[in-house]
Structure 1
Amino acid sequence: MKLELKDYAFVGVQIILFMIYFLDLQFLNFSIPYWLEVVTGMFTILGVLIILISILQLNTNISPFPSPRSKTILITGGMFKYMRHPIYSGIIISSINYSIYSGSIYKLIVAVVLCVLFYFKSMYEERKLSQQFLNYEHYKKVTGRFFPIFKR
């Protein structure tokens, strides 16, 4: 598919938010107990692992842009069996937990803004994927956007 202005806008805003997140601003900080450091540290690592595994599973299909490439295939196995956007999920998990781990309200605010961006970026991406793959609508019904669907 041809990239549109929205593709560049989503990626541009995402890059800016990443840059802001990694600025080491020392204001609005708080302390957390040791047990919470351990828990949020483990979830941060989990989020990074989800990102890395998902990138490997996408292989040559990976792109920072939400519009799928014209000769791509729909990946529905591995991490993508449980969530439609596992890279976004990993970033959400790791950024929120690292914000808490580091005791930074500033980072937590940026992480929440990233969540909102990923929600809208994924909506746009899914419209494009639905146009390219006939079975995408069924995939949406049985797979969670950012987190697995737990059914009885």
Structure 2
Amino acid sequence: AGIGTIILIKSFKNFSLWKFSGIVPHDDLKEKQELVVEGIHKYLRHPIYLGLIFIFSGYLLFTPTWTSLIHLIALAIYLPVGINYEEKKLIAIFGAKYTAYKSNVPALLPRFTK
């Protein structure tokens, strides 16, 4: 869970937590923004999701209850759907730039070889 928290903190380095959480309303498709490919995003396209996997897994190991297991299973079911929708949005925003990034950088598990 600690590793997951560190990954989350590193992931939000280039983003506004207020916009991400929806507290500050914004339209991703209309606002001009740059594709983040530095820091942890150089190695993973979805480090926030990886951080959540570590946090939920750590919680299950620390408190092995049906509730913590159901939370982890729900996350595992949501992730492919969430990644699919997010990547469609990112392709709509960044086009070929994101498609090239997607072909070079893995979604959740970093490559340690070239």
User: Considering the TM-score relative to the shorter chain, is it more than 0.5?
Assistant: yes
Q: What are the equivalent positions in structure 2 for 1:2-151 lying under 5 Å apart? A: 44-59=1-16, 62-64=19-21, 68-69=28-29, 70-133=31-94, 134-151=96-113
Cα distance in 1 for residues equivalent to 2:85 and 2:63: 32
Per chain length, whose mean CA-contact separation is higher, i.e. which structure has more relative contact order (CA < 8 Å, sep 6+)?
Answer: 2
Cα distance in 2 for residues equivalent to 1:55 and 1:99: 24
- Which segments of 5 or more consecutive residues in structure 1 lack a partner in the other structure? 1-43
Please identify the structure whose Cα radius of gyration is greater. 1
Aligned length: 108
- Could you tell me which amino acid in structure 2 is paired with residue 53 of structure 1? K
Range 99-108 or range 84-93, more displaced? 99-108
- Could you tell me which amino acid in structure 2 is paired with residue 131 of structure 1? A
TM-score if structure 2 supplies the norm length? 0.80
Q: For 2:107, what is the secondary structure of its paired residue?
A: coil
The CA deviation at 1:99 is: 1.0
Q: Which runs of 4+ in 1 moved over 6 A?
A: none
